Amino acid sequence: MSDVLLELEMILATVRQIDQSVLASIALLEKGVPAGSYKQLVASNKEKLERVMALLEEIKQTQAVEEYQRKALRATGGASDNELDSDLDQLLEELDNDAEESLAQYREARLAELKREFGKIDRAAHELGQDLGLVTFVNDEKELMDLVTKADVCMVHFHQPEFARCKVMNERLAAVAEKHVDVRILAIKAGLAPFLVAKLQLKVLPVVIAYRKGKELARIVGFEGLGGSGTDFPVEGLETWMFRHRLVNRRALTFAAKKATQNDESDDDDWY
């Protein structure tokens, strides 16, 4: 169980204890002492309880999506479609049964959202095959433009292999690609894309551009807006940027511990 889930379970247990304590007090006070203030406190605690349970449901949903992604990644190594379908049915059945213990108002919406997420993973697995969950390095800008046009959502990293910050960005993109397999992540050396470099007016590397159905949504220049230093940034910062620009609609529970190689270069961006 993740640290986040453990923390929320503890919060949930605490709120339940408060409710039980206040209800016990009301039982005594109802014998003749006004209990309006206590009832108001109970209502407040119940509202907190519902919020905490909603957060727990979101985390459980993310766990289910990540588990399905892992199964899809394994499936590209030889598992059959029938095995994946069986896994989907099992996950939905477990979540359906679990929902009986949760707030009923979240049940149907949660299962519908899960089916949509699973569907996106299935489509990505069908389209990408062995490249599922990986950064695709492209060597031709015409091929790159074709891939961007066909993808529903994608990110393109314009990089130079010898630039330290580009190496860091490639590491972070690789971590994100594994956790959000429905987002196509592409990379091309800037020197292999002279037309796009000029058209997009790329002056500093790395640059990551996000596209939806071939149209640019946003871009990252250097490590701007990712919450790190001039030489490094956390992968969570990149995921938050993706979430903010609606490239993804959930956050991963954990990321593999990867650390970029530190260097003695200055904090200035690499000019191309």
List phi, psi (to 5°) of 159: -145, 170
Domain that holds residue 206: 133-245
Minimum mean pLDDT range among 69-78, 194-203, 238-247: 69-78
Hey, which of 69-78, 106-115, 188-197, 229-238 has the most confident mean pLDDT?
188-197
Task: Say yes or no: 121 and 192 in one domain.
Answer: no
pLDDT exceeds cutoff 60 at 114: yes
8-state DSSP, 258: -
pLDDT score recorded for residue 63: 80
Burial of 135 per CB tally in 10 Å (0-12, 13-18, 19+)? buried
pLDDT score recorded for residue 77: 64
Task: Say yes or no: 115 and 157 in one domain.
Answer: no
- 3-state SS of 129-173 is HHHCCCCEEECCHHHHHHHHHHCCEEEEEEECCCCHHHHHHHHHH
Number of Cβ within a 10 Å radius of residue 6: 10
Q: Is residue 268 part of a domain?
A: no
pLDDT exceeds cutoff 80 at 14: no
Task: Say yes or no: 125 and 87 in one domain.
Answer: yes
Task: Say yes or no: 121 and 181 in one domain.
Answer: no
The CATH number assigned to the domain holding 222 equals: 3.40.30.10
Task: Say yes or no: 153 and 122 in one domain.
Answer: no
Task: Say yes or no: 15 and 80 in one domain.
Answer: yes
Domain limit, last residue, from 105, 129, 153: 129
Torsion sign (Cα): 99, 103, 105, 109: negative
List phi, psi (to 5°) of 101: -95, 0
Task: Say yes or no: 27 and 121 in one domain.
Answer: yes
pLDDT exceeds cutoff 60 at 78: no
Q: How confident is the model at residue 72 (pLDDT cuts 50, 70, 90)?
A: confident
Task: Say yes or no: 11 and 125 in one domain.
Answer: yes
Q: How far apart are CA 24 and CA 19, in angstroms?
A: 9
Q: How confident is the model at residue 166 (pLDDT cuts 50, 70, 90)?
A: very high
Task: Say yes or no: 149 and 234 in one domain.
Answer: yes
Query: Which tokens go with 102?
Result: 């949760």
Task: Say yes or no: 119 and 178 in one domain.
Answer: no
Task: Say yes or no: 100 and 60 in one domain.
Answer: yes
pLDDT: which is higher, 108 or 152: 152
pLDDT exceeds cutoff 50 at 71: yes
Number of domains in the chain: 2
Q: How far apart are CA 27 and CA 260, in angstroms?
A: 59
Burial of 223 per CB tally in 10 Å (0-12, 13-18, 19+)? buried
Q: How confident is the model at residue 102 (pLDDT cuts 50, 70, 90)?
A: very low
pLDDT score recorded for residue 246: 93
pLDDT exceeds cutoff 60 at 97: no
pLDDT: which is higher, 43 or 219: 219
User: Do the bridges between strand 215-221 and strand 136-138 make them parallel or antiparallel, or are there none, so unpaired?
Assistant: unpaired
- Report the percentage of the chain scoring pLDDT > 70: 62
Q: Is residue 144 part of a domain?
A: yes
